[in-house]
A = this chain, B = another copy of it.
């Protein structure tokens, strides 16, 4: 019988349950324990595992109790944004690798705590940034690493998603976004596009983010929505939400790249991650049909450059991991990327190597949230982004050559496989 590795899963709201279902499909995993502070959610987790595997996991309401289990090698944490860092730190201190759902940090100190816990325990912490494994993002990564865009100089991304219903129903559905929108004001959810961007330009490996400036718009969207849908008498209809409808953030990197991010979740709009890559030899920009691109090799003399649909050409640029994934069968939510990012975590746990997104990446990407709040509060003042590697970024090598690697050299894996 196949040897299985024991995992514990903490946080079983909507997203946690969805992830748990997919996680159980990854070969070699056994969910030995589930935990949620709400008993009904924890029970739901037990039920999912039992239904899918025939074996009931232990149920916990206090994650610190779960962390005492010596048979558990690694933790997946799908709790609210502001509990990710502390659960990650506690997990590593308890001798377990940990993967956490995305979200921003509440303070720089909690980012340092994760870094110190990882360095001192030898355990790793991986942000489950699924968008790093999206088909588009990986094809673009592949193209950039092959030099097709030349030297990359500017990038844009965003989390532009009409979440008014989810946010305003935060008390009924126990979703943490509501309280964040009530009390905070900044780039609350930076990593969906920042993660892929950082991987593209080698952040923490020969590059790093140096400073950022943020500015936030007025806050109007949620109140208008509440008036329309819940009426004037609903108790939070006139709540003075702190979170501006749109937060803009500019980031400057050590190698001179700039990144523009937009956080935009409380206005009526179609979904977009607003990905833009601009280099000396080409451009990609997301649009509502997946994206469009132009490379200088596609230009004709005397003719204005024009965009070409990316979806029509993506097969030409497919990342080797996605070629393999399509043959094996694309699996699960968000177009398959959730399954891939959790598989990457399992691969690292099982093979005892560092994960493709490590604690330095996790800390740097998450830190953008609290830094953005501070910059915005100071009218857009530039604020320094800490170097969580303490200088190691300057000559840091890629970690490993595994199939889920997000570093340049990892293309070799597939080259070797071909031969």
Q: Which residues of B contact A217 (CB under 8 A)?
A: 153-154, 256-258
Q: Which residues of chain A from 238 to 286 have any CB-CB distance to chain B below 8 Å in the complex? A: 244-246, 248, 250, 252, 255-258, 260, 262, 264, 267-271, 278-283
Alpha-carbon distance between A378 and B381 when the two chains are bound, in angstroms:
10
B-chain residues with CB within 8 Å of residue A196 when the two chains form the complex: none
Tell me whether A224 is interfacial, beta carbon within 8 Å.
yes
Query: Is A86 an interface residue when CB atoms closer than 8 A count as contact?
Result: no
Contact of B270 with A294 in the complex, beta carbons under 8 Å: yes
A154 touches B268 (CB 8 A): no
Known: A217-B256, A258-B216. A281 touches B264 (CB 8 A): no
Q: Is residue A325 contacting chain B, with contact meaning CB distance below 8 A?
A: no
Q: For the complex, what is the distance from the CA of A27 to the CA of B287, rounded to whole Å? A: 43
- Tell me which residues across on chain B come within 8 A of A295, comparing CB atoms: 268
Which residues of B are found within 8 Å of A215, using beta-carbon distances? 213, 250, 252, 258
Whether A162 sits at the interface, judged by CB under 8 Å, is yes
- Chain A to chain B: the 7 pairs with minimum beta-carbon distance, closest first: A218-B256, A154-B246, A213-B380, A217-B258, A224-B280, A268-B296, A380-B382
Other A-B pairs, 4, CB within 8 Å; known A151-B224, A153-B218: A150-B220, A153-B221, A154-B246, A220-B280
Q: Is A170 an interface residue (CB 8 A)?
A: no
| A301 smallest CB distance to B (angstroms) | 10
- Does A391 lie at the interface of the complex (its beta carbon under 8 Å from any beta carbon of B)? no
Q: How far is the CB of A372 from chain B (nearest CB, A)?
A: 12
- Picked from B248, B280, B304, the residue with its CB within 8 Å of the CB of A221 is B280
Q: Does A83 contact B (CB under 8 A)?
A: no
Contacts of A244 in B (CB 8 A): 153, 256, 258
A268 touches B246 (CB 8 A): no
Q: Assuming A260-B262, A288-B306, is B211 touching A281 (CB within 8 A)?
A: no
Pick the residue among B224, B245, B267, B270 that contacts A307 (CB under 8 A). Answer: B270
Indicate whether A305 reaches chain B with its CB closer than 8 angstroms. Answer: yes
Q: Which residue of B lies closest to A283 (CB)?
A: B269
CA distance A250 to B217 in the complex (A): 10
Which residues of A137-177 have CB atoms within 8 Å of chain B's CB atoms? Answer: 150-151, 153-154, 162
What residues of chain B lie closer than 8 Å to A153, measured between beta carbons?
217-218, 220-221, 244-246, 267
A299 at the interface (CB under 8 A from B): yes
Distance to closest chain B CB from A213 (angstroms): 4
Interface string of A204-223 (1 = CB under 8 A from B): 00000001010111101100
B257/A218 in contact, CB under 8 A: yes
Tell me if A290 is interfacial: C-beta within 8 Å of chain B: no
A292 at the interface (CB under 8 A from B): yes
Chain B, Cβ-Cβ closest to A262: B260
23 A–B contact pairs at CB < 8 A? A150-B224, A153-B245, A153-B246, A154-B217, A154-B245, A213-B213, A213-B215, A217-B257, A218-B256, A218-B257, A225-B280, A246-B258, A248-B258, A250-B380, A260-B262, A264-B278, A268-B280, A268-B294, A268-B295, A269-B294, A378-B382, A379-B382, A381-B382
Complex Cα–Cα for A80 and B287 (A) = 36
Which residues of A from 364 to 394 have beta carbons under 8 Å from B?
378-382
Which A residues between 6 and 22 are near B, CB-CB below 8 angstroms?
none
Which B residues lie within 8 Å of A280 (CB)?
220-221, 224-225, 245, 267-268
Q: Determine the distance from Cα of A288 to Cα of B310 in the docked complex, in whole angstroms.
A: 13
Q: How far is the CB of A64 from chain B (nearest CB, A)?
A: 39
A218→B295 CA distance, assembly (Å): 20
Nearest chain B CB to A242 CB, angstrom units: 13
In the assembled complex, which residues on chain B have CB atoms less than 8 Å from the CB atom of A245? 153-154, 278, 280
Min CB gap A297→B, angstroms: 10
In the complex, chain B residues whose CB is within 8 Å of the CB of A268: 280-283, 294-296, 299, 305
Distance from A8 Cβ to chain B, minimum over Cβ atoms (Å): 34
Q: What residues of chain B lie closer than 8 Å to A294, measured between beta carbons?
A: 268-270
